[in-house]
Amino acid sequence: MDFSGFNAAEQTHMARVIEKKQMQDFMRMYSSLVERCFTSCCNDFTSKALSSKEEQCMMNCADKFLKHSERVGARFAEQNAEAMNAMQK
């Protein structure tokens, strides 16, 4: 987004709004990751430590989730670039 038409106070405000939104999105993604992986992988509550099987499951789950999120972000960026190119033509 181009905020060059805004004065300094408006630019600062918009930067704060965007930063807050990005932090909310990150926290939502992190919470989703924790909930999904915990629900899928942690099912033995007889010990406070993770078993090796649970630990491996958590690592695999987190890795898959992050790769998926990265891929979705990349596709979004590709489609956004295509839309911007189409608008310029």
User: What total number of domains does the chain contain?
Assistant: 1
Confidence of residue 55 (pLDDT cuts 50, 70, 90): very high
Residues 6+ apart with CB under 8 A from 77: none
Cα separation of the two ends of the chain:
19
Q: Is 73 within the bounds of a domain?
A: yes
Res. 33: pLDDT tops 80: yes
**Domain-embedded: residue 32:** yes
Other beta carbons within 10 Å of 55 = 13
The CATH number linked to 72 is: 1.10.287.810
Percent of the chain at pLDDT > 70 equals 97
How sure is the predictor about 1, in pLDDT bands with cuts at 50, 70 and 90?
A: low
On average, the pLDDT of the chain sits at 91
Q: Is residue 1 part of a domain?
A: no
What tens digit of pLDDT does each residue of 64-81 get?
A: 999 998 999 999 999 999
Domain hosting residue 71, numbered range: 8-88
Residue keyed to tokens 């899928």: 40
In a domain, 72, yes or no: yes
User: Taken in order 54, 37, 73, 13, is the CA torsion positive or negative?
Assistant: negative
Is 74 inside any structural domain?
A: yes
The pTM is what? 0.67
